[in-house]
Amino acid sequence: METHAATLMYGIRFGLQGRRFKEETLARMSTKRRWIFLASLSLLLVAAVACGSGESGSGAAGKASIDDKAFRSFTGVGDNATATVVAAAATAAAGGAAATAAPAPTAEATTAPAMGADDVVPSGETTVAVNQVRAGVGTPRFCSAGCAEDIYITGITETLFRPVYGDTAGAQPEEGVLATSYELDPNLKWLDFTLRQGIQFHDGWGEFTAADVVFSYNDANRNTQPESIHGQAGDFAPLIKNLEILDTYKVRMNYENYDSRGIRHRFSTFWQTAGIVSAAVFDEHDAEGMRDFIIGTGPWINETWIQSDKIVVTAVQNHWRKTPSVAKITFLEVPEASSRRAMLETGQVIMAAPALADWNTLISAGFELNVDSGHGAIRNIGMTGNWWEDTRYYDGKVLERDTADRAWVSDNDSGAEYELARLVRIGLAHAIDRQALVDSILDGFGDGPMYFAYQPPNSHPITLSHASDFVDVSRGGEGGAGGWEYPVDFDLAKEFITEGGYPDGFEMSNVWTGPPGLTQELMTAIGGIWAVELGVDVTLNNSVYSTYRPGLVARTTSEPFLGCGDDANTSMPYDWARGFVMSSWSDGGYGVGMEIPFAADNYATVALETDKSLRSGMNEAFAIKGIDAALCIGIVHEPIGTIQNPDLIAEYEKLPNANGNLQQFVNLETLVLK
């Protein structure tokens, strides 16, 4: 098959930039390398090897009514009336094997953060460009998707823990921020936090205590606040039963279901957690009145917060942890990547995330690439609409789903109908020229072609052991166990589509890519090839995420989208439990348009497993099934980084982070201007 000719055809057909598809670009695809990214990427890949390697959500049944004051100050918690079935389910999934032994209940000290310096006098002000400023809301229960992360990324609120600068592998314990240590119950029923003393909230709202931690989590958690629309309301519910006060500076978190991902996962700025706010504000203003009070203990005070416009923060003099060098910083919303580049070049902003295609030009002009966060994303296509689970995994709740009539969808995971839909998905997976996309749209950056959303990085030993062509079981091969790479083969792809019952192709309408950017370019290119080679008529939906998300939560989505959950981030340690958002575990919150039994099983078993190497092996088996089922079809690896102006910046330590919020401009208290 004339791959390059086909690439030119779809490039012309769908109006992509001609420079990316002209013949001289294609001719240099096999040799093109980007030395500066490889130098940075090597740090990420080494970290990934060392560690063994959307937002997501779930909703567990909560109490019918909650006393707003009482649930913040539990002093004792009885047995849950609907006891969890996770341990039994995990044992059954493992063939009746006994549960893994729990770790010893030793208190684990964390790294102490640097303390603030009285002699630092904040001065000057500056601006950074971000792609989106979400609504800022002070009441946890009303702080919807993205809000919570934005509030602690800005440094207005603080979290219990955070990563150590440069530790992208997670090899070191998380640094204690508002917590100083934690202790895990040997039976995995609770986790106790010892808190830091003497910390003050902004604007005279008093000393930080256990009551503030309990309020911040319980008001966000759908288990304890059923009305919560907090970004992590559904994520917390299957994990956290509630938090209770043990004493003024000690808190107990009672597990709903233990999750082996631990502190870095749900209690650190690395991922998605709760920024700690003041319970005193709630006591004085109640839930509605608290909306406008974005009050924390961080090194930055909220001055102005205007959704879709800007956030302005000012420095806290003599902050307990780190007094900022800069007096005022503005996070300015600039949705268009081209505009962010222009503002960098003119000096209007000191840092931004321009389009990846602009990185080389800016680097050549003297700008610096910052990939300190260690973040990267496996761009992939989620084949939504495959609702195969009949009951919710962890409590048996009956699930009611409508199965749409789509070429890639089946009612369940077995039988003739399933196999026809699987063949269609396999055909689509073979009709993607991933290397052409890496070399053109990604301008040579990234970790190369990818084949499954939840595979490890390409340099990982697990991936290397599967670095051969996927031979489908219908062709007499061993499926994903033998190889993970779908070779680009349009003739073979057409055979699979035909065997799946669609010799003339089919419609794939309303494929969500998000606003113009890399994902839209990728799907435009892929859709062009699918139209030419397979007769698949793709139309795109580039609306903002907030308009697409409700269908994922309500389980009504049946058209593919460019994503299959946050576990497709290569910054996530590979031993972390995967399958949550691909399964009924996430019912009631964000999912990825499918509920798959083997994904539910994988999450249950890996989340309970305390042996890191065994967790990685389980995730390898999960990837093998994922390759064979072609449910989250990998495309390419996108590095996530920002560009900064070295003429204006003397120092800045961006912490490891797996979130994309506010372009990952976390830890701006370390920013020093020239």
Higher pLDDT, 93 or 374: 374
Across 526-555, average pLDDT: 93
**Closest-CA residue to 381 (of 587, 576, 584, 536):** 536
Strands 537-541 and 507-512: parallel
Query: Tens digits of per-residue pLDDT, 234-265?
Result: 889 989 999 999 999 999 999 999 999 999 99
Across 502-506, average pLDDT: 98
Give, in degrees to the nearest 5, the angle at Cα 75 between 70 and 78.
Answer: 95
Question: How far is the C-alpha of 559 from the C-alpha of 527, rounded, in Å?
Answer: 14
Higher pLDDT, 566 or 605: 605
**Exposed, middle or buried: residue 256 (CB in 10 Å: 0-12, 13-18, 19+)?**
buried
Question: How far is the C-alpha of 259 from the C-alpha of 240, rounded, in Å?
Answer: 10
Give, in degrees to the nearest 5, the angle at Cα 447 between 445 and 448.
Answer: 85
pLDDT band at 20 (very low <50, low <70, confident <90, very high): very low
Identify each DSSP E strand in 48-149 by its residue range: 107-109, 123-130
Question: How far is the C-alpha of 229 from the C-alpha of 225, rounded, in Å?
Answer: 9
Q: How does DSSP assign 598-617, residue by residue?
A: HHHHHHHHHHH---HHHHHH
Q: Does the structure show a pLDDT above 70 at 112? A: no
Per-residue pLDDT, 266? 94
pLDDT band at 91 (very low <50, low <70, confident <90, very high): very low
Query: Tens digits of per-residue pLDDT, 132-161?
Result: 999 999 999 999 988 989 999 999 999 999
Q: Which helix (H) or strand (E) holds 329?
A: strand 326-333
Pick the range with the lowest mean pLDDT from 49-58, 303-312, 503-512, 650-659.
49-58
Tokens matching residue 208: 């930080």
The conformation of residue 402, written as its DSSP 8-state character, comes to: P
SS3 215: helix
Contact yes or no for 176/111 (Cβ under 8 A) = yes
108 has which bridge partners? 182
Task: Give residue for tokens 């597990």.
Answer: 255
Sign of the Cα torsion 359, 364, 366, 369 reads: positive
Query: Tens digits of per-residue pLDDT, 285-319?
Result: 999 999 999 999 999 999 999 999 999 999 999 99
Under CATH, which number does the domain 3-53+376-639 receive?
3.10.105.10
pLDDT band at 412 (very low <50, low <70, confident <90, very high): very high
Q: How does DSSP assign 515-538, residue by residue?
A: SSSHHHHHHHHHHHHIIIII--EE
Question: How far is the C-alpha of 565 from the C-alpha of 594, rounded, in Å?
Answer: 11
Count CB neighbours of 212 within 10 A.
Answer: 27
Contacts of residue 128, defined as CB under 8 A and 6 or more positions apart, other chains included, come to 329, 330, 331, 332, 349, 350, 351, 352, 663, 665, 668
Which of 3.60.20.10, 3.40.50.300, 3.40.190.10, 3.20.20.100 is the CATH number of 104-374+641-673?
3.40.190.10
What residues does CATH 3.10.105.10 cover in the chain? 3-53+376-639
Per-residue pLDDT, 104? 32
Count CB neighbours of 71 within 10 A.
Answer: 20
Query: Tens digits of per-residue pLDDT, 625-655?
Result: 999 999 999 999 999 999 999 999 999 999 9
Per-residue pLDDT, 171? 87
Q: How does DSSP assign 3-72, residue by residue?
A: HHHHHHHHHHHTT--HHHHSHHHHHTTTT---HHHHHHHHHHHHHHHHTT-----------S---TTGGG
Per-residue pLDDT, 89? 31
Question: How far is the C-alpha of 464 from the C-alpha of 163, rounded, in Å?
Answer: 29
**Closest-CA residue to 337 (of 358, 320, 351, 309):** 358
**Closest-CA residue to 128 (of 544, 654, 516):** 654
Pick the range with the lowest mean pLDDT from 31-35, 210-214, 558-562.
31-35
SS3 13: helix
CA distances 358 to 400, 515, 521, Å, are 46, 18, 14
Average pLDDT along the chain = 84
Q: Does the structure show a pLDDT above 80 at 118? A: no
Reported pTM: 0.75
Q: Does the structure show a pLDDT above 50 at 463? A: yes
Contact yes or no for 187/102 (Cβ under 8 A) = yes
Pick the range with the lowest mean pLDDT from 157-161, 212-216, 610-614.
610-614
Across 489-497, average pLDDT: 98
Count CB neighbours of 194 within 10 A.
Answer: 20
Contact yes or no for 161/110 (Cβ under 8 A) = yes
Across 32-61, average pLDDT: 31
SS3 480: coil
What residues does CATH 3.40.190.10 cover in the chain? 104-374+641-673
Contact yes or no for 205/281 (Cβ under 8 A) = yes
Per-residue pLDDT, 72? 29
